[in-house]
Structure formats: structure tokens, C-alpha cells
Amino acid sequence: MKAAKKKAGGMHIIIVGCGKVGHTLTEQLVREGHDITIVDVSERVIADVSEVFDVMGVRGNGASLSVLEEAGVRSADLIIAVTGSDELNLLCCTIARKVGGDLAAIARVRNPDYSRELVYLRQQLGLSMIINPELEAAKEMVRMLSTPQALSISAFSKGSAELIRFKIPHGNVLDGRKIMELDSLFSFGYLVCAVERSGSVTIPDGSFVLHAGDDVSVIASARDVHRLFESIGMRGHAVHSCMIVGGGKSSYYLARQLLDRKMQVKIIESNRARCEELSTLLPEALIICGDGGDEALLREAGLNSEEAFVALTGIDEENILLTLYAKRIPGLKTITKINRITFNDVIDGLDLGSVVYPKYITSEAIIAYARARSKSVDSNVETLYQMFDDRVEALEFHIGKDAPIIGTPLMKLKKKDSLLIACINRGGRIFFPRGQDEIMAGDSVIVVTTHTGLGDVSDILA
């Protein structure tokens, strides 16, 4: 098989492993305009993916030099290894790096045994990125449990700024207010970035009127997020107790972080051997061996007295049903992990509370890297979040000394429509720019837009 020819502006990317994450990456990177070659041991998987997307496929072991050469590794720009084996992913990237010239390599590594060594492994093996979806998902869940009023929280500038998404309750002070009138409520910096109403997403201006039921995304300094909710009467506090159903890797990572914050944690897991393992790994947690789908067991385990409930089984349908049951308890913060199901409209209509998709967390990080690598102008995508079913993107750009937008007041920049320059981090100081402000070299700039595919800050210009 001949290696794929690169499209103009795109890269030749090899994806090894076409499970849930590999399939999602293929879909997203094809959409970004890259040439993709997939490698998998299953002929059927390759055929299924190739029928849906315009990609080339090679069947075989991704750690085999002959298989990698057939996939075009010597002329490829990037290899991404996301098989079910951490060791195979690392080996695949290591071999590819040896023969691939200027090839960049990204490996998925999920085993907790490696979680404290990721930086060392990346440096020693010369990898561009090692990503752990379950660990990153756990970090996102911890942010949600720290601010339970939010449906989701996306962190920028190493956690200094947060984009929070919440639904406006009926009777709330925001109902019926224009965005330009919100300064009377908030004594700190903020920006309303996006609003979803009746399935339609808007990047609002100051005249936009908010209504109860709107799904609103607001960016603020991380230290002001709690004050923001207090200012609109949505008071709350970080949860102190959490029940987790399912004892997999995500549960371990989440429980470890919650225990480190002195929270009470219960884990319900049906596999006795895994329960014994978790008891050793997490001696401070209460491990209950039983069926988390048993209503009587949930009551006996004290669900009614918990402050948070997180469904982390390996079955999406079970997670959804568990959360719908738990939602009947007033004031309970719920989080649901979805791995496979793609019926987003149905899921959005179920009122599950916060929903976490580990495969999208992985793809967002990798797409941000791919965009930065494929651009040559003097700024890089540092962080990327795709919101509202990929209809809105929030991106953080690092601004180099030759970026073309430096030194021009924002009011004079000819920006694309439906685009906000939401926030600037300058030397660790977070501020929300006005029209007379200018972007400077060294800044990190956060942009929210309905225009997808931005790879460089110059792309914000009309």
C-alpha cells in the first residue's frame, strides 16, 4: 500500500488502534483536513472505519516496523498510538520515532502504575505527548465537584481562568436581563461567551437577553467562580462526600484526588478481586462489593445522605439509568461518564447533570497539538475545548513576538463575526479586555467562536 499524500495545509497522521478513541480521533482529524492512515489488528475494524471516512488502512501490529513502513511512517508527520495496551502504545511510538525522521509521537497511557512517571517517560522516549484519558476525566470531575452548580468547567492558563457552563434556573436574577446589564451584579471580571437556547447556539453581544432555561457559558478568573454563583443566588459549596459506582481506572483516579482533598468516598464495585485491590490502593475509602444497579444496595450504602453521585461503570446505559435514579434525591450533584453512546440530543434531554466524555477529552488535547504543529505563524494553540456538540470552540493561543495582531487595539481588529476575545493572561494576570486594549507578545489569549478549525491566532481575522 502506498503512503497517503499530504493535503495542502494538512499533515499525514498515522493512528494505531481504532477503538472508541481512535474512531473519534479519525473523525475529528479528517474533518480538520489531515490525511489519515489507520492501523489495527482487525480487518473488520479497518473496513468499517474506511467505509465511513476517507482514510487508508493497514492491518497488523502497530509496533511492527514492516507494518509502520507500510503505513508510511518514514514520511508521516505524526503518529498517535491509542490501542488498549499502554506498553504497545509506548513501543509503537518509540519504534516510529527511530525511523520516522521529524515524526512527532503521542501515546495513550492509562495504567495508574505509570501515572507518576508520565513526564519521565515522555522525556526519555522523546514523545510529544502522553495522555491519560481517565486521569484527565477525573481532574475534570474534581473541578465539577468543587463547584457543583456548574454543569462543566474548562480550565485555561494552567487553571487561572475557568469557562463555566450552567443552566439559568426559573426565577433567577439573570432571567430577562440583557448581558450589558450584568455589571451591576458582578464586581469582578467576567464575560458571557456562549448561550444555547432551544438547540441553537449564539455568541452573544451586549443586547442579548438571557432567559430561564438558557445554557450559558461564562469565563472568569478561577478565584471568582464561587463569587459569580453567589452573586446570582446559586450558592453552593464543594461536596464533602461522594458515592462512586464502578471500580475501574477512572474511579481510582477520581477517588485518589477526592481523598487527597479530605472528602469521604464510597466505591461500589461488583468484582470481588477488584474490590480487594481497591481496598489496598485506597485504604481511606469505603469499598462496597456488590451490584451498583441494585436499588436496595444503594439505599443501604447511604445514597440519600451523600452530596455527590458519580456513575463510572463500563456500560453507558447503566451509568445513565443510575444517574436518573440518583437525580430523584434533591440537591445531589451527579456526574455521568459516557464512553460510547453518541445520541447527544437524547442525552442532553435527559437532565443527567454533568456528563463527562473521556474520548473527547483525549481528542481535544491531540487536535490542539495537531493544529499547533501544522501552523507556521508565530502563535500556538495551547488549549482547546469543543462545546455544544462541536458547534463552539474555546481556544487558548500563546502569542509569539511576530504574531500579526500585536499592537493593534481590539476595536480596530477586523475579526470574524461570532467570535469573542474572551480573556488575556499577561504574566499571570487574568483580565477581560475592552476595545482599547492591545494583545502583546507573550500573552495567552482565549478565544470563543462558532468558527471551528482555528489553528493560529491570526485565523481570528476576517
Residues 202-213, mean pLDDT to the nearest whole number = 95
Residues of the chain with CATH 3.30.70.1450: 137-141+149-231, 371-460
**pLDDT at residue number 78:** 95
The answer as to CATH 3.40.50.720 being correct for domain 241-356 is yes
Contact 34, 367 (CB under 8 A): no
**pLDDT at residue number 307:** 96
Lowest mean pLDDT among 17-21, 116-120, 442-446: 116-120
**pLDDT at residue number 5:** 45
Reply yes or no on whether the pLDDT at 335 is more than 90: yes
**pLDDT at residue number 236:** 83
Residues of the chain with CATH 3.40.50.720: 12-131, 241-356
- Nearest CA to 314 out of 294, 289, 290, 292 is that of 292
**pLDDT at residue number 201:** 94
Reply yes or no on whether the pLDDT at 67 is more than 60: yes
Label residue 379 by pLDDT band (50, 70, 90). Answer: low
Reply yes or no on whether the pLDDT at 4 is more than 50: no
User: 137-141+149-231 falls under which CATH superfamily?
Assistant: Regulator of K+ conductance, C-terminal domain (3.30.70.1450)
- Nearest CA to 10 out of 34, 26, 36 is that of 34
CATH for the stretch 371-460: 3.30.70.1450
Measured between alpha carbons, how far apart are the two ends of the chain, in Å? 41
Contact 454, 373 (CB under 8 A): no
Residues 408-417, mean pLDDT to the nearest whole number = 92
Residue 388: Cβ within 10 Å count: 19
Label residue 3 by pLDDT band (50, 70, 90). Answer: very low
Q: Identify the three-state secondary structure at position 60.
A: coil
More confident position, 344 or 445: 445
Label residue 1 by pLDDT band (50, 70, 90). Answer: very low
Write down the residue that cell numbers 486521569 correspond to: 135
Reply yes or no on whether the pLDDT at 19 is more than 80: yes
DSSP string, 320-343: HHHHHHHTTSTT-EEEEE-SS---
Cell readout for 125 is 522516549
Class of the CATH domain delimited by 12-131: alpha beta
- Nearest CA to 276 out of 293, 260, 289, 290 is that of 289
Cell readout for 2 is 502506498
Write down the residue that cell numbers 527511530 correspond to: 98
Per-residue model confidence as pLDDT tens digits over 233-269: 998 888 999 999 999 999 999 999 999 999 999 999 9
- Nearest CA to 103 out of 133, 72, 131 is that of 72
Label residue 9 by pLDDT band (50, 70, 90). Answer: low
* Residues near 124 by beta carbon (within 8 Å), at least 6 away in sequence: none
Reply yes or no on whether the pLDDT at 2 is more than 50: no
- Nearest CA to 285 out of 319, 314, 310, 262 is that of 262
Per-residue model confidence as pLDDT tens digits over 129-173: 999 989 999 999 999 999 999 999 999 998 899 999 999 999 999
Reply yes or no on whether the pLDDT at 7 is more than 80: no
